[in-house]
A = this chain, B = another copy of it.
């Protein structure tokens, strides 16, 4: 039932343990939902309560800790056995009790009460209070920063992970085509969103998409903003729409952005679309093993400067396994100063969002670093799409 073989999970655990050893960490408390999934297969929408995996340096398998009612979710999605799980009762959901008191009791019972414990100190869901409570209930442990330790292991994808990303890419293309086709004067914005979500989920005849994260698709003047969804207004002639969509297969995401214009596109927008495509292709051409993330951004920046486009924000990030609030992996970014060196089977979402003007423009590709260059997950043309009927 888990999405990967036991061998693959075992390899991941060993890679994490090697990094723990190198950092002097005895026990790792993994709370980030994609990291929990990566190391156990656990795939449930239970992360609104405190939960995590305890990874011991010398234990072959992690211990799952969460709310007692979620143990069946573990049984259906993880290779871990219920014996490797410790569930807490609902009395730990409200003050004065706290789930970390329960986690500390498991740490004690495992004989780890005097150990160095790594925590994901800047990850969503590991709250300030969780840290405080864990620290105060384990006075003889030393809690150290292990943020993104697992994330950095995730940056290079296995063949099976790439297969899921390929499937996600196919579904994203289907959904993007459905969305573009649905846009027409008089159609409600939300009705386009509705068919897009249906396509993201129904997916392909052979494989479906999992629960979508947020999909942004502002139209009209709202296209100058990157993170808005939809309203119940109707499309009218003379406005654009940016779509940033990302289907996921077993939570592996392959995002893609395109821009659509209803009616005859202003010359300025057509010119912008051509510059942005040139910039995107220039950045992609710079991709190969051994180069740095910042050099990819620099290739874009040269074209942008020539076109007079100013863009301060990063142009991409490592992508893969994700849960809300983010399909990005929180590791390498395509931006000045990021000297992460590309290696084969890293995957990035390269997104050029030009949000400065009244009408924004977005174009993106998710690409894999190959042995000699790159390959993209999408097959869609990189043009400004026009809808006038």
Smallest CB-CB A-B distances: 4 pairs: A190-B208, A128-B131, A324-B324, A72-B225
Contact assessment for B225 and A312 in the assembled complex, using a CB-CB cutoff below 8 Å:
no
Closest to A230 in B: B208
**What 1/0 mask marks residues of chain A from 226 to 238 whose CB sits below 8 Å from any chain B CB?**
1111111000000
Interface membership of A27, Cβ < 8 A: no
A44 in complex: contacting residue of B121, B208, B225, CB < 8 Å: B225
Residues in B neighbouring A76, C-beta threshold 8 A: 218, 221-222, 225, 228
A46–B198 CB distance below 8 A: no
Interface residues in A269-316 by Cβ distance below 8 A to B read 312-314
A209 touches B (CB below 8 Å): yes
Q: How many copies does the complex hold?
A: 2
Q: Considering only CB atoms and an 8 Å cut-off, how many residues of chain A contact the other chain?
A: 85
Cβ of A224 within 8 Å of any chain B Cβ, yes or no, is: yes
Q: How many Å lie between the Cα of A60 and that of B264 in the bound state? A: 45
A188 to B208, alpha carbons, bound, how many Å?
A: 9
Closest to A132 in B: B121
Contact B214 A211 (CB under 8 A): yes
Contact assessment for B123 and A127 in the assembled complex, using a CB-CB cutoff below 8 Å = yes
Say yes or no: is A333 at the interface (Cβ < 8 Å to chain B). Answer: yes
- Bound complex: CA of A353 vs CA of B195, how far in Å? 30
Residues from chain B with a CB closer than 8 A to the CB of A90 are 312-314, 333, 335
Q: Which residues of A contact B (CB under 8 A)?
A: 43-48, 67-70, 72-73, 75-77, 89-91, 93-94, 98, 119, 121-132, 145, 147, 188-191, 193-195, 197-203, 206-212, 214-216, 218, 221-222, 224-232, 312-314, 324-326, 328, 333, 335, 337-338, 353, 355
Given the known A-B contacts A75-B225, A90-B312, A199-B194, are A328 and B48 also in contact in the complex, defined by CB atoms under 8 Å? yes
Give the nearest-CB partner of A97 in chain B.
B337
8 Å CB contact of A227 from B70, B119, B209: B70
Q: How far is the CA of A190 from the CA of B231 in the complex (A)?
A: 26
Contact yes or no, B229 A313, CB < 8 A: no
Docked pose: A34 CA to B73 CA in angstroms: 27
In contact, A201 and B208 (Cβ under 8 angstroms): no
Q: In angstroms, how far is the closest chain B Cβ from the Cβ of A17? A: 23
Known: A45-B325, A94-B338. 6 other contacts (CB 8 A): A48-B326, A76-B225, A128-B128, A128-B131, A197-B197, A324-B325
Q: Are A194's CB and B190's CB within 8 A?
A: no
Chain B residues with Cβ under 8 A from A338's Cβ?
94
A325–B213 Cα distance when bound, in Å, is 11
CB of B125 within 8 A of CB of A121, answer: no
